Amino acid sequence: MEIIGQIAEQSKRKPSDISRLVEEKQRRFAGLLTESGAAFMVAKDLGLQLGADSMKKMLVSQLRDGMQNIDLLVRVMHIAQPKEFEKNGKKGKLCNLVVADSTGEIRLTIWHDDVDTVLGKGAKRGSVLLLRNCYVKSFNEKLQAGLAYNGSIEVNPKEISFDELPEANTAKAKISGLAAGMNDVCILGRILRIFPAREFEKNGGKGSVVNFLLADETGTARATAWNDFAKQVSALQENDLVEIEGAYTKQGLKGIELHLGWQARMQKSEEQAIHIPKASELLLKQAQPRKISELKEEDAMVLVKGKIIAVNPGRLFYSVCPKCGAKVQSNENEAVCEKCCETKQPAIKAVVSVRIDDGTGQVNMVAYGKEAEKIIGLNSKELQNQAGERGSEAMIEELQELAGKEISAVGRIKDNSFSGEKEFRANLVEFEKKG
């Protein structure tokens, strides 16, 4: 075996001694190791680093069902979102990749700790992988590769030429360039808004879906995340910068929609992305100006400007789950989040309602969280303390001093579930600067 000769030469030992160590290693692992895999373990035990010339050079086009002990040098063409699962009471993780060389492409499946190891080393679309000790099998009539016991993956290996490998599609699309029917869309954008998750039943199973608004410097698009992606999106915050790969587009009721299906991958981006403004700037730039008299419920993101004429009565904050942000039901001893089904120490979220007038009409505008804090002039902790000392009614009376101030707000029209009246839900508020 050629690799045994290489180990013997580098370690200054006899080939027969290396062969004996390989056999011992195979016996120790009860036949779970191939001879090549055992040889690589012996090399590692001896502190040796075997070069790429020790590979069994196989091309993707040469792979056949049942092959083992295969080494490959490939480019990552796509990485799907890692998936967690539970089987027989044990938790696991898998990740599917599409890899290719100059002769073709194949699915590569990695499992458990290998997922964290490979992605932790920065593997992404366009990376080069050196795969040692792989096997090939057929799944749904298509070949796929996997790592055998003691197989290994090296990400972007040094001192190896990979000029002949095909290039991966790493170009990022712009939202203004999206059209219906596109596949394998890669895009970098900022989260403007995340809508509440919705659950559904299909084919006897349960699923969930979350819609969110994604924007870059060229425009805004509605995006849809399904199942595992829905949970991931729900955990994000507005203004987060995310990188999406492998999405597809559809024509929606209000324009082109971006969908994250099973082939997609999404992660928070570490890029500076100076060309993509903050969410507040994007909202002000891309929202459509509307007069209050023109507001319609189908308007998704509009800009309204007017004067505050009154601060409406009501509570200035409410209790929310610190984990998911949903309202919690409180009693004397505990606060229970109905969404998480957990008992929690609640957090505080500000809320305020003001009536605004732009000369064409009037509307009640409601702001939550940070936007409400801007209007009230206090952060959530200060708000809770002062409301406890003086009461919300007294504070609202003082806030009437805001009457006459010019304010801009980006949001949408919704029906108030209690009063039945239409109100303007603000995602962003800014007081007009004088002079």
The confidence score (pLDDT) of residue 15 equals 86
Which tens digit of pLDDT belongs to each residue from 102-137?
A: 999 999 999 999 999 898 888 989 999 999 888 999
Q: What percent of the chain has pLDDT over 90?
A: 44
CB 402 within 8 A of CB 308: yes
Write down the CATH superfamily of domain 287-319+347-431.
Nucleic acid-binding proteins (2.40.50.140)
Q: Residue 342 pLDDT > 70, yes or no? A: no
Q: Rg for the chain (alpha carbons), in Å?
A: 29
Instruction: Output DSSP code: residue 383.
Output: H
Contacts of 435 (CB under 8 A, 6+ apart): none
Which tens digit of pLDDT belongs to each residue from 347-391?
A: 889 999 999 999 999 999 999 999 999 999 999 889 988 888 888
Provide the pLDDT confidence category of residue 75 given band limits of 50, 70 and 90: very high
Q: Is 372 exposed, middle or buried (0-12, 13-18, 19+ CB in 10 A)?
A: buried
**Hunting for tokens 């091309």 — which residue is that?**
59
CB 282 within 8 A of CB 192: yes
Q: Residue 55 pLDDT > 70, yes or no? A: no
CB 334 within 8 A of CB 346: no
Q: Residue 147 pLDDT > 80, yes or no? A: yes
Range of lowest pLDDT (271-280, 335-344, 393-402): 335-344
- Whether this prediction's pTM lies above 0.75 is answered by no
Which tens digit of pLDDT belongs to each residue from 223-269?
A: 999 888 888 888 888 889 999 999 999 999 878 999 998 889 998 88
Strand order in the sheet with 335-337: 328-330, 335-337, 342-344
Same CATH fold assignment for domains 175-281 and 287-319+347-431: yes
Boundaries of every domain in the chain:
1-50, 64-170, 175-281, 287-319+347-431
Question: What token pair was written down for 366?
Answer: 């409601």
Of 4 and 378, the structure prediction assigns the larger pLDDT to 378
Provide the pLDDT confidence category of residue 144 given band limits of 50, 70 and 90: very high
Average pLDDT of the segment spanning 195-214: 87
Cα distances (angstroms) measured from residue 233 to each of 193, 214, 242, 413: 10, 11, 10, 24
Average pLDDT of the segment spanning 181-196: 92
The confidence score (pLDDT) of residue 51 equals 59
Q: What percent of the chain has pLDDT over 70?
A: 91
Range of lowest pLDDT (74-78, 191-195, 397-401): 191-195
The confidence score (pLDDT) of residue 30 equals 66
Write down the CATH superfamily of domain 64-170.
Nucleic acid-binding proteins (2.40.50.140)
Provide the pLDDT confidence category of residue 54 given band limits of 50, 70 and 90: low
Q: Torsion over CA of 129, 140, 63 and 38, rounded to 10 degrees? A: 70
Mean confidence (pLDDT) of the chain? 87
The confidence score (pLDDT) of residue 343 equals 61
The confidence score (pLDDT) of residue 76 equals 96
Q: Residue 217 pLDDT > 60, yes or no? A: yes
Average pLDDT of the segment spanning 3-25: 86
**Residue 334, Cβ neighbours under 10 Å: how many?**
12
Q: Which CATH architecture has domain 175-281?
A: Beta Barrel (2.40)
Of 339 and 199, the structure prediction assigns the larger pLDDT to 199
**Residue 33, Cβ neighbours under 10 Å: how many?**
22
* 3-state SS, residue 167: coil
The confidence score (pLDDT) of residue 433 equals 76
